[in-house]
Structure 1
Amino acid sequence: MVKYWPCKQGMSLNHEVAHLFAYIKQKFNGSLSNRTNDNLYIDILNNSVKYRLFSIILVELEILILDLIELNLSIKTIKRLNYKILYDLIQKVVAHFLVEFHVNNYPIILIKGQQYSYLQIILAEYKWLLESLLIYLVFGSMYIDDDIFVFDPKYTPVNHIAILLENLVIQVSNLVIFMILENLKSLSNIAIFLKNNQLCNVSYISIRSLAVFRNSLICQNWIYLYIIQPKYIYSSRYKVWLISSKGLVTKYIYVDRLDDFIKLSRPKLILVALIELQDLVIPQFEKFLLIFIKLILYILVNVFGNGIVIFIRIIRLVIDNWLK
């Protein structure tokens, strides 16, 4: 039986939030290895460090929710301050993470630069990363806009909130490690930081492996920003990261991305037009190619078939004449 998220504030909502956080925290005990073909910045960490980082994010999110309730902010204000709330959450998680691992000699400055493809990806999707989740956790499902997701807000499955929360934990942890690595700048500094603080996954011990890892992420982020993300926006899809029994996996959920589509730059809109053209042209081209191949085969079969028959008849006539 499908269990639905509470519609409004009250004891029922408080109970569900507490139960959800406990459920997600329990999932951290399993494998946290990346089981997808996409790289994450947190892949550089070992499983134990990932567990502690994920736990820190849950703690800071709990504090954030309590602060929002205490400040009695309206939904309109939360939507307006959504980016700042996310920024502050990342800042607090970074500080908490460094304290947790007794790292005091690495001052971290949060990066806001547009030159990073990864940050541009986040800026295009931060609304889906935190805003809806906060409304669910603080106010209840009935305050979500009707056209954002595929179901009636009053009948929002609990599993949907769990998906949003797991995605937030993984993506914020990824942002935190990205910020730390970019502050360290050089590969040698990154290697020293990881080894000295015993954070490193054994796959990334050498500077060469770190260089390959970093370059693959830069390339992946560029492709996602200019090719994959516009396609998802056009298709009203949002990629979420989840914790499965085998490790970290990705799924796709429907969201209304009309506002995101309107904000697409001209090169990205051209790409969307090419995708539309591809959807129109390729099926027709495939049909034409299939008919053309059948025609060629028909001609070949008939020409060679008749040619072989004539050739056999000629040979028989030659043999008959020779025997006479």
Structure 2
Amino acid sequence: MKQYWPNEQGTKLNNEVANLFLKTKKKFQYNLSNKTNSYLYIDILNNSSKSHLFNITLKEIEILILDIVEIDLKIKHIQLLNQKILYNLIQKILKHFISILNYNSHKVFKLDQYKISYNYLKIILLEHRLLLENLLIYLIFGSSIINQQTFVFNNINTPKEHVSILLENLIITASNLVIFILIENFQSLSKTAYFLIKYKLCNKNYLSNRSLALFKNYLIWQNLIYLYINQPKAIYSARYKIWLISSNGLIARYIYISRLDDFPKLSRIQLVFLFFIEAQDILIPQIEKICLILGRVILYISINVIVNSAIFLIRTLIKKLYKTS
């Protein structure tokens, strides 16, 4: 029997939130390696460090919820300040993570310094409401406050699993942002490697400068392709990519969600790419049909030419043989 998330504030909602956090925390004991073809910045961490970072992230999310409840922040304020709330959450996770390492936090750049120039941040900033806002509403106010048009199911009948995957996605994405800031803080690959090795954070696959360089280059190209091709296509298709913690490792899935509000946020370049993608989807099947018809016509003509040539040749041979005889 499918279980649904509480639709209003109260003891039932508080208990569900506590159970969800406990259930999610237990998953951090799993193998947390990336099982997809996409790269994550947290791939550079070993399993122990990744689990440690996830625990910190979950703890900071819990503190954030308590703070919002304590100051009695209304839904309209959450919607208005969502990007700022996300920014503060990332900075607190980063500060918490670094403080445990006894690393000089003054050396770490702040998130806003990367806003303009990095494709990965452009991706996150375009999706910040999907990443955080809906989850905060579920955890603090219940499912009845969620816009009816946002998801494919009735908001009153929101499955518990749906809220769980939104929380896991936030944990993984927020942790990924933290490592993104740390990596970009270092001005050379050797300093990055030194930091990761010194504090015993590094995945053994990225111990050398060459492997780190390849890793960063893959991420640069991946973010570029996602920003200008995959993200516009996902918005057009009303889909959102989420990250989950499975028993075998980190996996990615798409969920259907209304993204009409994201269309005006697309840049001209993204819209141009989207136009070409959709034009391609329309034209390629038509071109394939034309090529198939042309292929059949050419094959038919070729067969007729070969058959007629063969008949002509046979007749010519027969005539020559007849004359000879």
TM-score range (shorter-chain normalised) is over 0.9
In the TM superposition, what are the counterparts of 1:276-315 in structure 2 within 5 Å? 276-315=278-317
**SS at 1:81's partner residue?**
helix
Partners of 1:159 and 1:305 in 2: CA distance: 66
Q: CA RMSD in A?
A: 1.5
Q: Tell me if structure 1 keeps the 8 A contact 2:82–2:129.
A: yes
Mapped to 2, the partners of 1:186 and 1:37 lie a distance apart of 26
Q: Distance in 2 between matches of 1:307 and 1:255?
A: 63
TM-score by length of 2: 0.95
Report whether the alignment pairs 1:26 with 2:32.
Answer: no
CA–CA distance in structure 1, aligned partners of residues 173 and 180 of structure 2: 10
Q: Report the residue type matching 1:307 in the other structure.
A: S
- 2:99 aligns with 99
The structure 2 residue matched to 1:183, chosen from 182, 185, 198, is 185
In 1: Cα distance, 2:250 partner to 2:314 partner: 67
Code of the aligned partner of 1:188 = S
Once residues 312 and 32 of structure 1 are traced to their aligned partners in structure 2, the CA distance between those partners, rounded to angstroms, is 74
Q: After alignment, is 223-232 or 115-124 more displaced?
A: 223-232
Counting only pairs closer than 5 Å after superposition, residues 6-45 of structure 1 correspond to structure 2 as: 6-45=6-45
Structure 2 residue 249 is the aligned partner of structure 1 residue 244 = no
User: Contact (CA 8 Å) 1:78, 1:131: kept in 2 or not?
Assistant: yes
Normalised by the size of structure 1, how large is the TM-score?
0.95
Task: Write the deviation string for residues 64-114 of structure 1: whole angstroms up to 9, x where unpaired.
Answer: 111111111111111111111111111111111112333346632323131
Q: CA deviation at 1:123?
A: 0.8
Range with bigger deviation, 128-137 or 279-288: 279-288
Deviation at 1:271, TM superposition (A): 1.7
Tell me which moved more, 85-94 or 305-314: 305-314
- Which one-letter code corresponds to 2:166 in the other structure? L
Find the counterpart in structure 2 of residue 159 from structure 1.
Answer: 161
Cα offset, 1:312, TM superposition: 2.9
Q: Name the CA distance, whole Å, in 2 between partners of 1:120 and 1:53.
A: 23
- Please name the residue that 2:271 is paired with: 269
Per the TM alignment, residue 122 of structure 1 is displaced from its structure 2 partner at its CA by 0.9
Who is 1:71 aligned against?
71
Is 2:99–2:105's contact at 8 Å kept on the other side of the alignment?
A: no
Change (3 A) 1:310 1:74: same
Stretch deviating more after TM superposition (264-273 or 86-95): 264-273
Larger deviation: 199-208 or 300-309? 300-309
Q: Following the alignment from structure 1 to structure 2, what is the Cα–Cα distance between the partners of residues 254 and 7?
A: 21
Moved over 6 A (4+): none
Moved more, 293-302 or 167-176: 293-302
Q: Which amino acid aligns with 1:124?
A: L
Structure 1 residue 310: deviation in Å? 2.9
CA distance in 2, matches of 1:318, 1:247: 79
CA displacement, residues 274-309 of structure 1 (integer Å, 9 cap, x when unaligned)? 222222222211111111111111111122123223
What amino acid does structure 1 have at the position aligned with 2:180? F
Q: Which runs of 5+ in 1 are unaligned?
A: none
- How far, CA to CA, are the matches of 2:26 and 2:311 in structure 1? 76
8 Å Cα contact 1:103/1:197 also seen in 2: no
1:311 positional shift: 2.2
- 1:13 and 1:68 mapped to 2: Cα distance? 15
CA contact (8 A) 1:82 1:131 kept: yes
Paired letter, 2:272? I
In 2, Cα distance between equivalents of 1:147 and 1:257: 10
For residues 322 and 170 of structure 2, what CA distance do their matches in structure 1 show? 87
| 1:147 aligns to 2:154 (yes or no) | no
Segments of structure 2 that go 5 or more residues without pairing to the other structure are none
Please give the alpha-carbon distance, in whole angstroms, between the structure 2 residues aligned to 1:238 and 1:52: 27
Which moved further from structure 2: 21-30 or 37-46?
21-30
Contact 1:242-1:248 at 8 Å conserved across structures:
yes
Residue equivalent to 2:110: 110
